[in-house]
Amino acid sequence: METFFSFLAKRVDDCSSLLCVGLDPHPSDLPAPTAEAARDFCLRLVKATSSYAAAFKPNAAFFELYGPEGWAALKDVIAAVQAESDRLGSMIPVILDAKRGDIASTAEAYAQSAFENLGVHAITLSPYLGKDSIDPFLAYKEKGVFLLCKTSNPGAADLQDLNVVVVGAQHVVPLHQHIAHLAQTWNTGDNIGLVVGATQPDALTRVRAAAPDLWLLVPGVGAQGGDLETALRTGLRADGKGMLINVSRGISQSEDPPRVAAELRDEMVNIQYQMSKEKRTKSSKTVSESNKTLQSSDISLSSLFSTLVDSLLDAGCIKFGEFTLKSGLKSPIYIDLRQIITYPKLLEQVGAAYLPILEKLEFQRIAGLPYAAIPIATAVSLQGNHPMIYPRKEVKEYGTKAEIEGEYHAGETVVVIDDLATTGGSKFEAIEKLTGAGLVVKDVVVLIDRQSGAKESLEQAGFHLHAVLTITQLLDYWEKTGKVDKEKLTATRTFLKTTS
């Protein structure tokens, strides 16, 4: 079953936006203080901004004040979001800003009202009555809750900044930080997020540290004085997601709501891109230094590369035992880099590890080899901003009958990206397809060189093989660190020597 936050992440990807449009029909903004005027106000806003909204957040109070008519108007607004979702072909979440918080039996009624009667996808809650007050909402596995953590109003400090002694610990933390930590531990169903105001960047930093995995709903940008870039830089998760920036009056009170929404979306994208670029530059410099270490006679790996090597071992990408190879030989080591795709962080590390080598080469595109290297090449492409193509194993017998997928132009230089180098046979097959299409190939880059003749074979044919790691470096590192039994390492070295 899909959780709320996986559903939200899809919408964020679909619209390339972290913008949550707040639907707050203040009576002062309406031509008349009626439920009908509140409904029409929100319907216009939904239609105008749906292309740029990752979510909509109607404020229940501005509908409840009109009694039953207001409740009916709120249902109409939620239905309008559904209609826009159908039109766009992408489901837009509705987060009910209700700030509910009561004992369990009452909470059950609130949850039923929000999730079954109104049909919203998530709701804001107060956590101050403890976990049993939010459990009735969490029982709806496909729905989400955002717990009030550090709100943007001036009086929030009266309670939320109070220092509390954490039971069983020897330290004191602000109450909002403790709430963030509790939410992180309670989030076993991937359906808890936090509300944190953009007006308190220091608090936002503490909350993100205490809850590194949670989505944050962040009000306070614009009219309340919160700075958008500061909020993103302090609140985004390591993967560049995990935040919804809520803007209400800044959009609804503007002369051109769709233009403002689009500009906010674009500004967020630009900030995210700049942050990603800075991260790649920093990572590239660190990896470059690490690569220098690898090329030296000292077999000790830097912390970055030791983490990568250990992760490859832990993920089962490199195994020791007894394995029958395709050739029929019995091998004491087996390298299966296809396993990398199961571990997103490891895939990201692997992609970054190729960048220092690629920085020294001249090319227009990278070519990932099917199948194991395609996800690796994709990670490299995303982190290095390198256009990617790949040669098919089988030529398509329909449509374009393409032998190479992706856009390219004859005469361009491409670098072949693969996971592993053994004899070089598969590299020559791919190079033949690429050069047959008019492309120029000079270099091949792999994650691991088994040192079984591929480098020499490619050099004789005029191609240069570059490897992030060699099997010798790996074995020497594991021997030095004691990560692998010496008997297995000795058997592996003997096998490699006799089969090279």
Q: Give me the active site residues, please.
A: 99
Give the HSE-up count for residue 224: Cα atoms under 13 Å, Cβ half-sphere. Answer: 20
Q: Are 177 and 129 in contact (CB under 8 A)?
A: no
Structure tokens at 170: 């020897």
Q: Both ends of the chain: CA-CA distance in Å? A: 50
In the three-class reduction of DSSP (H, G, I as helix; E, B as strand; rest coil), residue 86 is classed as helix
CB 451 within 8 A of CB 500: yes
d(CA 452, CA 423) in angstroms, rounded, equals 6
Distance, in Å, from the CA atom of 315 to the CA atom of 157, rounded to the nearest integer, reads 45
Torsional class of 449: left (φ above 0), alpha (ψ -120 to 50), beta (otherwise): beta
| Residues 230, 138: Cα–Cα separation, whole Å | 31
Q: What is the largest CA-CA distance in the chain?
A: 88
Q: Please tell me the distance from the alpha carbon of residue 79 to that of residue 215, in angstroms, as a whole number.
A: 25
Residue 359 corresponds to which amino acid?
Answer: E
Q: Which residues contact 258 (CB under 8 A, 6 or more apart)?
A: 48, 49, 51, 52
- Distance, in Å, from the CA atom of 301 to the CA atom of 294, rounded to the nearest integer, reads 6
Q: Which token pair is 329?
A: 């030989």
Which run of H or of E encompasses 136? helix 135-138
What SS3 class is residue 245?
A: strand
Residue 401 CA to residue 184 CA, distance in Å, equals: 50
239 bridge partner residues: none
The residues, any chain, with a CB within 8 Å of residue 400's CB and separated by 6 or more, are none
Rounded Cα distance, 92 and 13, in Å: 11
Torsion (CA) 252, 52, 345, 211 in degrees, nearest 10 = 20
| Token output for 73 | 């108007």
